[in-house]
A and B are shown apart, each in its own frame.
Chain A
Amino acid sequence: MQDEPTPIELIKAVADFLRADITPQISGHAAFKLRVAINALDLVMRQLSLQDGSDAAEAASLSALLGEQGSPADLNRILADRIASGEADLQTPGLKDHLWQTTLAKLAVDQPNYAAYKRELEAKLSSTPPSS
């Protein structure tokens, strides 16, 4: 077992340092590259926090959809092949919902500010009945 601090804590400390202390000292093309670098660190942090949960959900969803067991990569390959061959399509029960859930999980890591993603999240929230 590795010791603390966790990778997320370390990356966050580096990203915060770059953002707060280095950004004000840099200009021009280097400032652009620094922004990309900070964005990359933020993305890695989101992935480290979210991936375990989203991978487990995706694996369970894939197994149910395909009736097969395997690694997420293998199952995704089977799903991709079945869609390519026409064996599975949007009429296949559960397929559309599966694609939406897995795509939303990618966006939550890759680009949570993407306008189309935010729109879909709002639509989901407003269509969910309030819990009693």
Chain B
Amino acid sequence: MSAAPVEDLLARCVASWYPGATGVASAVRLSGGASQETWSFDIVHPDGHIGAILRRAPQGYGAAPARAAGLNAEAMLMRLAHGAGVPSPEVLHVLEAKDELGVGFIMQRIAGETIPRKILRDEQFATARPKLARQLGGILADIHGLPLLQLPELRRMTAAAEIAELARDISSFNWPRPVFELALRWLRDHDPGPSARETLVHGDFRHGNLMIGPDGVRAVLDWELAHLGDPMEDLGWICVNSWRFGEIDKPVGGFGSREDLFAGYEAAHGMSVDPARVKFWEVMGTLRWGVMCCGMMQRFREGPDHSMERAMIGRRSSETEIDLLRLLAPRA
């Protein structure tokens, strides 16, 4: 990869495919770890600047985690979703070797909010909030309706495989967690088996990956965990209490009801919702987030960066334990 500044490489790259572009400006790195970066920049054009986002994995950095779909697959999925009417940024360019920017893609920058507390509390979203659950139901139906034959190669997940993965993670922590064991046992006893309908699953459909405006959902982001599997997984994941940010009586993201989510889903393409499967995946998702919190603690302890934030996230696993008890062993 070139040692030239990212802004210079972007300017050369953009000029090669955006007619009339004269350069780029305001390139700033937003986030990301060692293996993946997100940059915001403007494409300079005589007709006005165009806001853009670069998502890339610089060459020479470690392989993507086993669960990740890969940036080229993400770009393909976003293009398919955009084409099917899912609110989604337009993918403008998929990086090529000659761009010297690594692997990744450039997409349109969409204005909106992803911070949960703002979406749940700010006045500007007050009229959007009651409509979001139904709208998200429709969007999930669109995602699940994408033709399988057009999809990039993706990992295939089943409930049984997911349970086995969680069990392996939990035993690797070497720290007894009776509530997690109770949840694992419940999941094994209630595994509904492979879904009759296997579809694309977004895999991380929740606050943070949904860009919201005063008019409603503006974009579905971050397809990194996309896979093939039970479509009810996405409906269960967005109901996990960890994504309600205190609004615990509104199961869908702290803003809506399951009824609205399900109604929006079924109205879109006539595909039916299986509430028992959704509940199963909500339990699975709650446990998965708890396991992820424990994983953060492990990385804090073993990793070189000694991150205080990761350490503190480890102490959030007990939140999922009380959520699991409320789901599986409610008190009278």
A interface list, Cβ under 8 A from B: 33, 36-37, 39-40, 43, 73, 76-77, 79-81, 83-84, 86, 89-90, 96, 99-100, 102-104, 106-107, 110-111, 114-117, 119-120, 123-124
A43 to B, closest residue via Cβ: B315
Interface residues as binary, B164-185 with A (CB distance below 8 Å gives 1, 0 otherwise): 0000000000001111111011
Beta-carbon contact of B318 and A116 below 8 Å: no
Interface of B is mostly: helix
Tell me, in angstroms, the Cα distance from A96 to B184 when the chains sit together: 16
> Which of A40, A76, A84, A89 has its CB near the most chain B CB atoms (within 10 A)?
A84
Beta-carbon contact of A100 and B325 below 8 Å: yes
Interface of A is mostly: helix
> Which of B312, B318, B319 has its CB near the most chain A CB atoms (within 10 A)?
B318
B263 CB, nearest partner CB in chain A, Å: 26
- Tell me whether A80 and B315 are in contact in the complex, defined as CB-CB below 8 angstroms, given that A99-B182, A100-B329, A100-B331 are known contacts: no
Confirm or deny: B316 has a beta carbon within 8 angstroms of a beta carbon on chain A: yes
Beta-carbon contact of A111 and B312 below 8 Å: no
From the candidates A43, A76, A114, name the one contacting B322 in the complex (CB within 8 A). A114
B26 CB, nearest partner CB in chain A, Å: 18
B332 to A, closest residue via Cβ: A127
A83 CB, nearest partner CB in chain B, Å: 4
B183 to A, closest residue via Cβ: A83
What are 13 of the A-B contact pairs (CB < 8 Å)?
A39-B312, A43-B315, A80-B178, A89-B182, A96-B329, A100-B325, A102-B178, A103-B318, A103-B322, A116-B319, A116-B323, A117-B322, A119-B248
A110 CB, nearest partner CB in chain B, Å: 5
A102 to B, closest residue via Cβ: B178
Give the chain A neighbours of B184 by CB distance below 8 A. 84
Give the chain A neighbours of B312 by CB distance below 8 A. 36, 39-40, 43
Give the chain A neighbours of B247 by CB distance below 8 A. 115
B32 CB, nearest partner CB in chain A, Å: 14
Confirm or deny: B110 has a beta carbon within 8 angstroms of a beta carbon on chain A: no
Give the chain A neighbours of B241 by CB distance below 8 A. 116
User: Chain B interface residue count: which class?
Assistant: 20 to 34
Tell me, in angstroms, the Cα distance from A58 to B253 when the chains sit together: 34
Beta-carbon contact of B321 and A106 below 8 Å: yes
Give the chain B neighbours of A37 by CB distance below 8 A. 308
Confirm or deny: B68 has a beta carbon within 8 angstroms of a beta carbon on chain A: no
Give the chain B neighbours of A114 by CB distance below 8 A. 319, 322
Beta-carbon contact of A83 and B326 below 8 Å: no
Tell me, in angstroms, the Cα distance from A103 to B321 when the chains sit together: 7
B247 to A, closest residue via Cβ: A115
Beta-carbon contact of A120 and B331 below 8 Å: yes
Give the chain A neighbours of B322 by CB distance below 8 A. 103-104, 107, 114, 116-117, 120
Beta-carbon contact of A83 and B182 below 8 Å: yes
A123 to B, closest residue via Cβ: B331
Beta-carbon contact of B179 and A99 below 8 Å: yes
Confirm or deny: B20 has a beta carbon within 8 angstroms of a beta carbon on chain A: no
